[in-house]
Structure 1
Amino acid sequence: MRLCTWNVNGLESLFRKGYFADFVYRTSPDILCLQETKISRRKLAQWSISTRDWNCFLSICKTNEGYSGVSTFCQSHCPLLKAEEGISGFLPAECLAWNPSRSWFCNQREIPIWRETAYSVGYHFETTENSELLTKLDKEGRCVIVEFPFFILFNVYVPFDSSDETFEYKYIFIERLLKRIKMVLEGGKNVVVCGDFNCARERIDHCDPEGIFQNKPRGSLFESDSCRQLFNVICSSEGPLVDVFRYFHPERLDAYTCWNNQTGARKTNFGTRIDYILANRAFVENFITNCDIFNDIYGSDHCPVYIEFRSIVSLSAESLHVERLPPFCCQHFPDLLGSQQSLKDMMKISIHDKSNKIVEMRPHFVEATAFNRTCITMKSDTSTSEEGHSQEGKYDDTIRLPTKRNFEKSTSIEMDTFSNREYSSTVSGSENCFHVTKYQKAKEDWRKLFHNLQKVPLCSGHNEPCLLRTVKKKGANLGRKFYVCGRPIGKGVEGRCNFFLWYDNRDTRS
């Protein structure tokens, strides 16, 4: 059996561009854990997250639509017992109140919290804990827990620390996760934890541990990060869990799972390993046979990580005395009732959408339509009858960029240039006037903007054109522009050189 984890950085984009289909066909996972799905509740039915051949457990961010979110997919042949949302148990179990007409849903007037239901995994914190803060953490959609017969799976997305406030937020999340893991282990259960921890454990897992390329303040040692220290408490030789990848590949270098897309760092493999699969040592030694990284799978700024474990004896729901799937399963969502489809159908839709993407028009065609003040009449879907006469299709009442297929089938594009005035186009026998003078104005504005700009300098290291960037960090230089080497960040001669030059605004046209 195979378990995969992947920070997809937007599940909708992954489906639309066809990357998800390629991923599933190549990896064939039995259990799939995704982070940063960014799914909103109103789009659940559109993407049909609930499928007939997979059971899905989804946690959606409840405070910011389209942010964060994790989901765990299990093939229908994988027996499971319970499932709950969040690491604290204090999060309201809203799914239990979605369909109270079913006898096996909770019929309480008020929505119970997970620790009060019979469907929770258990091993929760004491009620004296800061329930308000923990509930706030869980409302961001950062954890899904699923209990299988032989282990309990935590799918987590640890907060990113971009400031002192979010750093404390991240520390508390890791601290509470560690505490919950210890309680599960003390209960005699095996534990598997996977997801994006937004933290590299050791120097070997980071391309720039000294912070030279990231301009970190001197004296801030890699090991001094308190979140990293806490994370290593989980995975130390005396800790409760094992970093499964390092268990099988203790000395592998340049094994990264995340790269900066803005700097093109994946081309030079200048990244970090922040996506992990952790498990207690007994489970690793007795069941797990391999762990590795799919660094050639694209679609996100992360790549998938997987483990393979020995086939555990297949158990039926009847032998486990499980009457039905937990109510947290997406197939019970009222938003999705009647819309379930197979995962293969979802991938076909994904591939179809990818093949029908609108292609970019050639530069001369764009210039003619946008800036040369022309009127375009497109004869689309032109075909020839058996008698040899051309049969013209009806004109559309809107001007659209053609798809690749229709662009090739179009037999003529008539462009009539008029004088400087308003233009009209006859569409389907009726006159539909539209103004094109604004395109001419836009062209003139762009011409003025780029007429006398500062000449792009060449970097000193490679003698190649530089890139113009803008300072986004708060401070005296916020918003100021500068030139840097155009190559992606990385080590050696193939990486970006140290060239730097401030952009001189005085050279621009006033």
Structure 2
Amino acid sequence: MKILTWNINGIRASKVNLKTLFDSLDADIICLQETKVTRDQLDEPTAIVDGYNSYFSFSRKRSGYSGVATFCKDSSIPFCAEEGLSGCLTTKAEGSIGHYGHQSCFSADELESLDAEGRAVITQHKIRDKNGEERNLAIINVYCPRADPDKQERHLYKLRFLALLQTRAEALLESASHVLVLGDINTTHKSLDHCDPNHEEFTKKPSRIWLNQFLWPANRDPELPEVVDKEDYPFVTTHTKGGLFIDTFRHLYPDQQEAYTNWSTVTGARETNYGKRLDYILADIPFTKNYLADGVIMVLVEGSDHCPYKIELTCPVVSALKCPQLCTKHMPEFAGKQQKLSSFFQKISKEEKVDSIIDLSDKSNNTLRSKLPDELKMSDSQDLHLAKNNAKNLAKKRESDLSAELVTKKKKLDTKLGQKQSSLINFFTKKTSNPITSSTSETILKTEDTGKILTETDEILSSSQESSSSIQSENDLNGDKEKNEVKSETKEFQTVNKPTSLDAWKKLLKGPPQPPLCKGHKEPCVLRVVKKTGPNKGRQFFTCARPEGQKNNPEARCDCFLWVDKMKR
């Protein structure tokens, strides 16, 4: 039996279909976090994957946010499935798992709020031990909140969520069931699990203290303080015990370094393995000792800022005969009980249209025929023949009317398209006066394709054949003089290059300066923007283009940093 956890960072963002992706992961139970899909956004290719049955938890606060999903092979169908940790989202009629523990330390509103972001799905399975006996196994697929340092309420929300998670996990253990708590815990345990643990915030994180007391003593970090007075910590309650679970990866590989599951995509830190381990599979002590065979961090699997972590067990899973009520196959929009919206937009053939009109004609003719006297009624064959002819004629008429309407619309569209739109370059072209006098009608045409200025001079109109030869010769001299002036002006216009739209935009909108070379590698820097809330939010800066990494790594980025607004343009 193989169980896998992975923060997929958007289940709909996968570049390959889920069937191919899941088969490549080679696991019987696949637990995904941060699916970023709500109930109204769940489509059939995501909900129904051939060979798998799925169980989702959706955020009820924000769209495209949080969310977890557990996909089980059809050979590993769970016996029960439940959404959330508190029991507020599931009733007994839907096949709840139960065993919620002591929740007196939580208010009703707090329990509802902690389950409103779609952060937990629990599936109850059965496994067979070495003696052939069946035992329960509860898998808690969880996506723990992130503590925003700028929002104190989110920090408290995370700690209370961890307290509720421990309350439910220990309650399931007391029910004689094995328990796995797996997913994105959103904290690192030991300094060995972080690429840069030598900062002050790392050693004081309450979530690390919670994880430390949650694990059994052999897994604990002696550098972290012990939880003595539980009332001083919001992440535990007076009813929780602690020390009942094992970190499966550290149990198998206690001293392995640089074993990370998360990297920053903004800084390209995955290339230098500058990350941290946030994804865990925590198992109860007897289960770990009796069934854990191996574990692997699948760093080669891309598509997210996290990578999967998978364990292999020696016990086989016993599959249920049918899927629990929470399974997406039972949702009305996927169970065939409700007509899908897409069916209203399907194209209907001409034959289907004619048949539908014939059916309507048959019904109307039968109604009218029932009201006629017997001597005026026609035979069924005559009536049917007449109805079909009427329907076909009506269909042809509708088709001809539609064709005429389309032709009219096409003519109007062609007329609109025929009207040329002014080019952007016209707004940046300097207008010049025409030196041509009234005695000469000369038109200067400017083509958009070649940019050349064409001149066309009309013939000088002779005033009259009765004019004297002296006046005619004087007009010819004046006309030649004016022609020479026009030609010289035209030649001057042709020597000026036509400005392009790119040049015009460059004059109108000045972009950032050319990127400087970084100090360490003498390579062009990359432009970035401050997104963190604060006085510098929105400011642009240049930094080394190489990925983030350890300071002693020559392939990692150097410490080059320069604000754009302080550079000389």
> Normalised by the size of structure 1, how large is the TM-score?
0.70
1:24-423 mapped onto 2 (5 Å cutoff): 24-91=22-89, 93=90, 114=91, 117=93, 119-126=95-102, 128=104, 129-149=106-126, 150-162=136-148, 163-211=151-199, 220-237=200-217, 239-312=243-316, 314=318, 317=321, 324-338=322-336
CA distance in 2, matches of 1:222, 1:313: 39
**Distance in 2 between residues matched to 1:254 and 1:440, nearest whole Å:** 60
1:499 is aligned to 2:534: no
Give, in whole Å, the separation in 2 of the partners of 1:450 and 1:296: 43
Matched to 2:28, the amino acid is D
Question: What letter is aligned with 1:138?
Answer: D
In structure 2, the partner of 1:100 is none
CA distance in 1, matches of 2:77, 2:538: 55
The whole-number CA distance in structure 2 between the counterparts of 1:338 and 1:75 is: 22
C-alpha change, 1:262 and 1:54, in structure 2 (3 Å) is: same
Residue deviations 1:34-65 (CA, integer Å, cap 9, x gap): 11111132232343412452111111111111
1:13 aligns with 2:23: no
Q: CA deviation at 1:181?
A: 1.0
Task: Give the letter aligned to residue 301 of structure 1.
Answer: D
User: Are the counterparts in 1 of residues 77 and 323 from structure 2 also a CA contact under 8 Å?
Assistant: no
Is 1:473 aligned to 2:532, yes or no? yes
Following superposition, the deviation at residue 90 of structure 1 comes to 1.9
Secondary structure class of the residue paired with 2:24: helix
Q: Distance in 2 between matches of 1:309 and 1:296?
A: 22
Task: Show CA shifts across 1:308-343 (max 9, x none).
Answer: 1124264663xxxxxx43211111101212399xxx
The separation in 2 between residues aligned to 1:201 and 1:240, in whole angstroms, is 16
The corresponding residue for 1:2 is: 2
- Partner of residue 486 from structure 1, selected from 545, 548, 568: 545
Q: Whole-Å Cα distance in 1 between the matches of residues 154 and 314 of structure 2?
A: 39
CA, structure 1 residues 230+436, in 2 after alignment: closer, same or farther (shift >3 Å)?
A: farther
Q: Which residue of the partner structure matches residue 346 of structure 1?
A: none
C-alpha distance in 1, partners of 2:75/2:251? 29
Change (3 A) 1:53 1:474: closer
- Residue type of the alignment partner of 1:124: Y
CA distance in 1, matches of 2:248, 2:270: 23
1:288 offset after TM fit, Å?
Answer: 1.6
Q: Distance in 1 between matches of 2:504 and 2:44?
A: 41
1:435 Cα offset (Å): 4.5
Q: Distance in 1 between matches of 2:567 and 2:517?
A: 19
The Cα of 1:147 is off from its aligned counterpart by: 0.5
Aligned length: 387
Displacement, 1:446?
A: 4.1
Q: Is the 8 A contact 1:82 1:147 kept in 2?
A: yes
Evaluate the alpha carbon distance shift between residue 226 and residue 449 of structure 1 in structure 2; reply closer, same or farther with a 3 A threshold. Answer: farther
1:469 maps to amino acid: R
Are residue 463 (structure 1) and residue 461 (structure 2) matched?
A: no
C-alpha distance in 2, partners of 1:337/1:315? Answer: 21
- Cα gap change, 1:81/1:316 in structure 2, threshold over 3 Å: closer, same or farther? closer
Q: Contact 1:452–1:507 (CA<8 Å) still a contact in 2?
A: no
Q: 1:477/1:303 Cα in 2 relative to 1: closer, same or farther (>3 Å)?
A: same
Once the two structures are TM-superposed, the CA of residue 182 in structure 1 deviates from its matched residue by 1.1
Q: Which amino acid aligns with 1:12?
A: R
Q: Find the counterpart in structure 1 of residue 367 from structure 2.
A: none
1:371 aligned partner: none
> Aligned equivalents of 1:454 and 1:4: distance in 2?
48
For the Cα contact (< 8 Å) 1:143–1:156, is it kept in 2?
yes
| Structure 2: distance between partners of 1:72 and 1:328 | 11
Please state how far the C-alpha of 1:507 moved relative to its aligned partner: 3.9
The letter of the residue matching 1:254 is E
Provide the C-alpha distance between the structure 2 equivalents of 1:148 and 1:45, rounded to a whole number of angstroms: 26
Per-residue CA deviations over 1:7-30 (Å, capped at 9, x if unaligned) read: 11110111xx11745542332211
Q: Which residue of 2 aligns with 1:405?
A: none
Deviating more after overlay: 261-270 vs 235-244: 235-244
- SS of corresponding position for 1:183: helix
Secondary structure (helix, strand or coil) at the match of 2:96 reads coil
Task: Output the CA distance in 1 between the equivalents of 2:75 and 2:415.
Answer: 60
Bigger shift: residues 235-244 or 144-153: 235-244
Distance 1:438 1:43 in 2: 41
Aligned in 2, Cα 1:48/1:206: closer, same or farther, shift over 3 Å? Answer: closer
Q: Rate the CA distance shift 1:20–1:446 in 2: closer, same or farther, 3 A.
A: farther
CA distance in 1, matches of 2:416, 2:70: 54
1:233 CA drift (Å) = 1.4
Tell me the distance in 2 between the aligned counterparts of 1:475 and 1:253.
35
Q: Which amino acid aligns with 1:230?
A: W
Q: Specify the code of the residue in structure 1 equivalent to 2:299.
A: N
1:445–1:333 CA distance, 2 compared to 1 (3 A): farther
Distance change >3 Å, CA 437–CA 326, structure 1 → 2: same
Distance 1:328 1:449 in 2: 58
What is the distance in 2 between the residues matched to 1:60 and 1:445?
A: 50
Query: Corresponding residue for 1:102?
Result: none
CA distance 1:460–1:236, change in 2 (3 Å) = farther
**Distance (Å, rounded) in 1 between the aligned partners of 2:58 and 2:19:** 23
Aligned equivalents of 2:194 and 2:505: distance in 1? 43
Contact 2:53 2:72 in 1 (8 A): yes
Change (3 A) 1:192 1:313: closer
Looking at structure 1, the residues matched to 560 and 67 of structure 2 have their Cα atoms a distance apart, in angstroms, of: 39
**Aligned partners of 1:327, 1:315: CA distance in 2, in Å?**
15
Give the percent of matched residue pairs that are identical in Structure 1 and Structure 2: 36
* Unaligned ranges ≥5, structure 2: 127-135, 219-242, 339-405, 428-500
